[in-house]
Structure 1
Amino acid sequence: MNLSIDPRALQFLKFDGESGSDLGVYKTLLESTRAIPWKIDWATKQFAYIGPQIEDLLGWSQDSWNTVDDWASRMHADDREYVVNFCVSQSMAGVDHEADYRALTKDGDYVWIRDVVHVVRLDSGEVDCLIGFMFDITDRKRNEEQLLEMQKRLEALSFEDGLTGASNRRMFDSRLENEFESARRSGQPLTLMLIDIDHFKQFNDLYGHLKGDDCLVSVASALKQLGRRRRDVVARYGGEEFAILLPETDGEAARAMAERCRMMISGLKVPHETSDCADFVTASIGVGTVIPSPTMECRSFVQSVDKLLYAAKKNGRNRVSSAVL
């Protein structure tokens, strides 16, 4: 939002002691608005004027605003350095500008302020004074923060599997490419696990799709207990398949984690009467670890791990097939 200053409305600030009905009208109008007019003498850095509305907004009396130090000291510490430096540099350059910051109230709270500043120059070109308005933009900032939070949440949902709460395939593909390139640059190992719930079609046929959904949610919840580091990714890969991406995890650690994963799934003890592996739900896991060479492609890495998963299923299911690729 750009807020321009009408020079006519600030004539009474430019000419101290000026009288006249027009200036009186302008002053009355300005002091009856919610915007707070002010003037600072550039040479002394003192307030020549600030509107009485300042007390209603911040609680500080009109006569307590003496110098720019009063302005700066009543600013949130996190905003102060940037805002003061910005305003000083713009003013010295003779550039009109705006600044948003949190102003301290006398009660110890903070109000979001937008300062709109007009730089007045002498005929010589030197800065004479600064005049402007303070606007209370607290509600606007609150709305902006709520909108930003909503956008972040929507973005998160776009990368989340709606049923299980695990990352979705879109997120997995994106992170896989990034981590693969990162491993190539750093020379650190990257591990990928592909997990397939054994005989899941038969499970759905016997117990129904609602029970099938419950099973997927339970498995995802168990898997998320494994991938808890910041860069780990636990994703629903498709249907009854899950994928776990583990940066900086070597082959030995990967194999141990895959076995733990298999045991956690069987440990859920979800009944599966038509499985030929056990009386409860189990999973087959392919796990591969790689330090990508300059010529290796991410796609071939996934295909190699998929072959390991196929081997685990072919060799009797409910087992781990692993390799350092």
Structure 2
Amino acid sequence: MTSGTERPEHDHDVYRTLVESTKAIPWTIDWATMRFTYIGPQIETLLGWTPESWVTVQDWVERMHPDDRERVVGFCVAQSQAGTDHEADYRAMTRDGDYVWIRDVVHVVRGEDGAVRSLVGFMFDIRDRKRSEEQLAQLQARLEELSYQDGLTGVANRRMFDAVLEREWNEARRAGQPLSLIMLDIDYFKQYNDHYGHLQGDECLRRVAQALLSASTRGRDFLGRFGGEEFVMVLPDTDAPSAMRVAQRCRDVILEQGIVHEGSRVGGTLTVSVGVATQRPTEEGTAFDLIARVDKRLYAAKQLGRNRIVSEAVPEVERA
């Protein structure tokens, strides 16, 4: 029979065996000296560092990814000083120089006077959880991307256009720079669909979209499908003459496609009508003002016979 004096030691051994048989890695730190008083042997299996190599808090700090160090150390120290239990996720360095995602769950032990005496915690391997979170984040990002993409042509959709135009309008207003908008409409597209069928019409829209992408050479320029057979381009920091040149390139690249259109009333190949508007945003105006102006010029291009560009810089460009 075990005596009463032997039981505490026996209980301690049982507790230690139970703790060290789990995947969680237990540890304790003396607050006054900032030294580890214990760390479970599982640490060597996970990170390769022996328990004996964890001497002070500095060992913990130095074995943390540099990008996580300032954030995690600052947070944990502040919480510990306040006597608040806490947890933190970070990347811990293995002995081979790789990194493993760790979650540290920390309990602050206080004395009778309320002062912090020690920290007791558990390290958890959360690699699988982080991997799942990253995959979920990638999936969400892809879904978000798709929500801003026109499913037929692959260019941005109207929702994305609205967001980009609002952003560029605010930036142009802040910088005092001009902002230009180009709106294009495929001439007699209903007749194209009626004559060749909707499948061929879809292919036509894809070809037009890809051709228009090649007309812009600057990274910030934006192309989107406005709706139906209409496309729109946002040109930041672009004055009226420069926007006119881009519009001409757009019209030219469509003509170069040589897409046969027997139902067109302006020739035997596919053409576009184009409106161009430029504005220097002010506090009083809105992005909708610019849309209204470019839409008015697109309408004028159609009224003047289609296959042409109407711009503020050049009121009318005769069709080729």
Q: What TM-score do the two structures reach when normalised by structure 1?
A: 0.89
Number of equivalenced pairs: 308
CA deviation after TM superposition for structure 1 residue 227, in Å: 4.5
Q: Which stretch has the larger CA shift, 20-29 or 273-282?
A: 273-282
Out of 157, 178, 186, the position equivalent to 1:168 is 157
Q: Which stretch has the larger CA shift, 132-141 or 244-253?
A: 244-253
Out of 222, 227, 233, the position equivalent to 1:238 is 227
Alignment partners' CA distance in 2, 1:77 and 1:252: 50
Alignment partners' CA distance in 1, 2:283 and 2:127: 53
Query: What does residue range 257-268 of structure 1 map to in structure 2 within 5 Å?
Result: 257-268=246-257
Unpaired stretches in structure 1, ≥5 consecutive residues: 1-17
Alignment partners' CA distance in 2, 1:89 and 1:294: 44
The residue aligned with 1:43 is: 32
Give the secondary structure class of the aligned counterpart of 1:267: helix
Query: What does residue range 60-209 of structure 1 map to in structure 2 within 5 Å?
Result: 60-209=49-198
Matched, 1:23 2:12: yes
Task: Report the residue type matching 2:223 in the other structure.
Answer: V
Structure 1 residues 119, 240: CA separation in 2 closer, same or farther (over 3 Å shift)? same
Alignment partners' CA distance in 1, 2:105 and 2:289: 58
The residue aligned with 1:7 is: none
Q: Which stretch has the larger CA shift, 289-298 or 222-231?
A: 222-231
- CA offset digits 1:157-196 (Å, max 9, x no partner): 1111110111111221233233334333432111111100
Alignment partners' CA distance in 2, 1:122 and 1:260: 77
- CA offset digits 1:102-152 (Å, max 9, x no partner): 011122221100001111122233222111100001110111111111111
Task: Report the residue type matching 1:57 in the other structure.
Answer: L
Structure 1 residues 224, 66: CA separation in 2 closer, same or farther (over 3 Å shift)? same
Q: CA RMSD in A?
A: 1.9
Give the secondary structure class of the aligned counterpart of 1:219: helix
CA deviation after TM superposition for structure 1 residue 83, in Å: 0.9
Give the secondary structure class of the aligned counterpart of 2:191: helix
The residue aligned with 2:245 is: 256
Q: Which stretch has the larger CA shift, 293-302 or 164-173?
A: 293-302
Structure 1 residues 198, 135: CA separation in 2 closer, same or farther (over 3 Å shift)? same
CA contact (8 A) 1:51 1:62 kept: yes
Query: What does residue range 209-220 of structure 1 map to in structure 2 within 5 Å?
Result: 209-220=198-209
Task: Report the residue type matching 2:204 in the other structure.
Answer: C
CA deviation after TM superposition for structure 1 residue 230, in Å: 4.8
The residue aligned with 1:10 is: none
Matched, 1:303 2:292: yes
Alignment partners' CA distance in 1, 2:20 and 2:283: 69
- CA offset digits 1:231-287 (Å, max 9, x no partner): 432111111110111121111110000001110111112221232333321111100
Alignment partners' CA distance in 2, 1:122 and 1:139: 37
The residue aligned with 2:3 is: none
Alignment partners' CA distance in 1, 2:265 and 2:121: 80
Alignment partners' CA distance in 2, 1:100 and 1:78: 12
